[in-house]
Structure 1
Amino acid sequence: MEKNVLHYFVDTNSSRGFVSFWESNFGKLEKVVKLDGYPDLLVTQLVSQACAQALGCEQEVELVHNCLDNSLQGIILPGQKTGLLNLPAYGDESYSLRLAEDENLSKARERVQRAYGCFGQALKIHDDWERIFISSMDFEAMDELAEETAEKLFGGQKTDRAGSCADRFFGAATVNGSYDYIPNITQEIPKRYFLKGRPGTGKSTFLKMLARAAQDRGYRTEAYHCAFDPNSLDMIAVRELGLCVFDSTAPHEYFPDRDSDEIIDIYKAAVQPGTDEKYEKEIAGYSAGYKAKVREATGYLGEAKLAYHQYQKSVLESVNPDRRIGSMDWIIGKLFGR
Structure 2
Amino acid sequence: MPECTLNYFIRSNSSRGYASFFQSNFSRLRTVVRLDGYPSVAVADIVGNICADALEKGFHAQLIHNCLDNSLEGVIIPERSAGVINFPLYDEEEYCIAAILNDDNLNLTFAGLEAARRHFAAALEIHDRWEKIYISNMDFDAANKLAANTIEKVVGGNTLPKQGEQIHRFFGAATIDGSFDYIDGLTSHLAKRYFIKGRPGTGKSTFLRKIADYASAAGFETEVYHCAFDPNSLDMIVLRELSLCVFDSTSPHEYFPSRPSDEIIDIYKAAVVDKTDEKYRTEIAAIMTDYKSEIAKATKQLTRAKKYYDEVQRGILSKISAKALGNAEKKIHNKIFEDG
Normalising by the smaller structure, the TM-score range is: over 0.9
5+ residue gaps in structure 2?
A: none
Please state how far the C-alpha of 1:96 moved relative to its aligned partner. 3.3
Aligned residues: 338
Distance in 2 between the 1:303 and 1:297 partners? 10
Contact 1:15 1:122 in 2 (8 A): yes
Q: What one-letter code is carried by the residue in structure 2 that aligns with 1:40? A: S
Contact 2:90 2:98 in 1 (8 A): no
Q: What one-letter code is carried by the residue in structure 1 that aligns with 2:49? A: Q
Give the aligned partner of residue 40 of structure 1.
Answer: 40
SS in 2 for 1:161: coil
Contact 2:11 2:18 in 1 (8 A): yes
Q: What one-letter code is carried by the residue in structure 2 that aligns with 1:233? A: L
Distance in 2 between the 1:247 and 1:142 partners? 15
The answer on 1:222 being equivalent to 2:193 is no
Give the aligned partner of residue 98 of structure 1.
Answer: 99
The answer on 1:294 being equivalent to 2:274 is no
Distance in 2 between the 1:144 and 1:290 partners? 32
Give the aligned partner of residue 258 of structure 1.
Answer: 259
The worse-fitting range, judged by mean Cα deviation, of 78-87 and 91-100 is 91-100
Q: Counterparts in 2 of 1:97-136, with a 5 A limit?
A: 97-136=98-137
Contact 1:162 1:219 in 2 (8 A): yes
Taking only the aligned residue pairs, the percentage that are identical comes to 50
The answer on 1:69 being equivalent to 2:100 is no
Q: What one-letter code is carried by the residue in structure 1 that aligns with 2:251? A: A
Contact 1:160 1:218 in 2 (8 A): yes
C-alpha RMSD of the superposition = 0.9
Give the aligned partner of residue 250 of structure 2.
Answer: 249
Contact 2:109 2:309 in 1 (8 A): yes
Q: Counterparts in 2 of 1:16-35, with a 5 A limit?
A: 16-35=16-35
The answer on 1:88 being equivalent to 2:88 is yes
Cα deviation, 1:249-297, whole Å, max 9, x if unaligned, reads 0000000000000000000000000100000000001111111000000
Contact 2:196 2:246 in 1 (8 A): yes
Cα deviation, 1:102-138, whole Å, max 9, x if unaligned, reads 1111100110000000000000000010000000000
Distance in 2 between the 1:41 and 1:329 partners? 16
Give the aligned partner of residue 14 of structure 2.
Answer: 14
Cα deviation, 1:149-182, whole Å, max 9, x if unaligned, reads 0011111111121110100000000000000000
Distance in 1 between the 2:255 and 2:323 partners? 47
Displacement over 4 Å in runs of 4+: none
Please state how far the C-alpha of 1:93 moved relative to its aligned partner. 1.7
Q: What one-letter code is carried by the residue in structure 2 that aligns with 1:104? A: N
Give the aligned partner of residue 330 of structure 1.
Answer: 331
Please state how far the C-alpha of 1:325 moved relative to its aligned partner. 1.3
Distance in 2 between the 1:324 and 1:100 partners? 23
Please state how far the C-alpha of 1:89 moved relative to its aligned partner. 0.9
Please state how far the C-alpha of 1:101 moved relative to its aligned partner. 1.6
Give the aligned partner of residue 53 of structure 1.
Answer: 53
Distance in 2 between the 1:193 and 1:208 partners? 15
Please state how far the C-alpha of 1:57 moved relative to its aligned partner. 1.1
Give the aligned partner of residue 200 of structure 1.
Answer: 201
Give the aligned partner of residue 156 of structure 1.
Answer: 157
Contact 1:238 1:244 in 2 (8 A): yes
Please state how far the C-alpha of 1:41 moved relative to its aligned partner. 0.7
Q: What one-letter code is carried by the residue in structure 2 that aligns with 1:67? A: C
- Please, what TM-score do these two structures have when normalized by structure 1? 0.99
Q: What one-letter code is carried by the residue in structure 2 that aligns with 1:58? A: G
Give the aligned partner of residue 316 of structure 1.
Answer: 317
Q: What one-letter code is carried by the residue in structure 1 that aligns with 2:36? A: D
Give the aligned partner of residue 275 of structure 1.
Answer: 276
- Please, what TM-score do these two structures have when normalized by structure 2? 0.98
Contact 1:37 1:97 in 2 (8 A): no
Contact 1:194 1:246 in 2 (8 A): yes
